[in-house]
Structure 1
Amino acid sequence: MTTTTSSPTILLIAGHWLGAWAWDEVLEHLTTDDARAIAMTLPGLDGDDPGRAARTLDDQAAAVLDLLARLGVSEGRPATIVAHSGANAPVSLVLDRHPELVHRVVWVESGPMATGSVFAPDLPEGVEELPLPAFDVLAQQASLEGLSPEVLERFRARAVPEPGPVLRQPVVLTDDARRTVPTTLVCCSIPSAQVLELARAGHPVFADVATLEHLDVIDLPTGHWPMWSRPRDLAEAIRSAASRAS
């Protein structure tokens, strides 16, 4: 999959239950002659993988790094990584292990995780995977604003249960250089002013935002899945962030 093009690389990674397909509408507006945008499915979220329920955060981070290598990404040609929602765990690991490969990280309804964080620390060891909840339950956790019945039907039909090991594994980070990577927050269901206030207050979900050295914010008011509710606007936000100088 190695390529000889010098176009900047934008790698899109969706959150829990989602694969590369979640970015289809964004890609229609994002790919241009002067940039290449590629979406990936993390290990554990490929419905055709018979061993997917055993995949870990380490497997996911390794897969991201492997794809970057195959795309020709290097310290001299770093990529922009776009991480939506629960993709923040493996991408936080990537930033910690190889910050030099990332020109900019764009967190969409997401943000950097603090070391020691666990998404579902109370998930019993016997639970192999977590299916997409009923939408009335999900709506209590994340905004469904802007999603039509047709979109919700597609979400339900294509969602893949999240592997238990991914949800239980602590994020262990050791390299403070991850905080020097230029960062953009795309804030949708929570306005950026509130996110920054929570970060300054030390809220555990947002605390690491306050440690970032180069931070921009973009407000894109909608629900938690802007790739479906505002795909064109999200593509423009990503393009704008990716074009910013380091």
Structure 2
Amino acid sequence: MNKINLAEISTRAPEGMEKKTVKAVTQEILGELDGLQNLLFAEHKHAILVVLQGMDASGKDGLIRKVLGNMNPQGVNVRGFKAPTEDEKDHDFLWRIHRFAPAKGMIHVFNRSHYEDILVQRVHKWIDDETAMKRMQAINDFERLLTEHNNTTILKFYLHISEEEQKERLKERRKDPQKMWKYNKNDTTEAKLWKDYMKMYEEAIEHCNDVKWQIVPSDQNWYKEYLIAQTLRDTLRSFNMEYPTL
């Protein structure tokens, strides 16, 4: 993959797209997704892993609720990865991740993921570049293992918001009573490291792209939800699934 510059990629919907129209189409897609997910579970031949990465306030939680919330909870599992525990630190960095890879018939969603170990840890200089490159190769091998040996389709989304939009959303967390629970005093500190995070995201996308990344404009939640719902729907359609017979 050629080097990318995230600053040159739009964070907004193309001109001419109408919010009302796009939201109506999204609702139709979500209705279809419910049936397709049930078919995935019944046929039991494929697995899907959705990887969501993005800066604080890029809308990962809302996306999960809006796009995946209508599906049968028996067939969808959401896992968030925060700072590793002491037990997890005693293992290789992928140990805690592999345990939550999806079984056939399942859709698993990683709200943050194994990529934190080459993003946060590099920004804060907890690992050096040599270690980071080794981890990137391990990630490529891990994703290849899932795709080649368990028929897992991995959908990797980088939720691409602008620095200005992030600032506005972080302000909302301090003012909106329904969003105050999301506020973390470290948010402001991490936001100041924007340029460092962008550099590390660019390198992660460049070096871990055997399974292709999708950069999703995310300043407008309705457009982000539409793109990801559409991608998930089209992926499930491509399996040409059938219900098992007697």
Structure with more helix by fraction: 2
TM-score, normalised to structure 2, is 0.40
Determine which structure has more spread, i.e. the larger CA radius of gyration. Answer: 2
Between the two structures, name the one with larger relative contact order (CA 8 Å, sep ≥ 6).
2
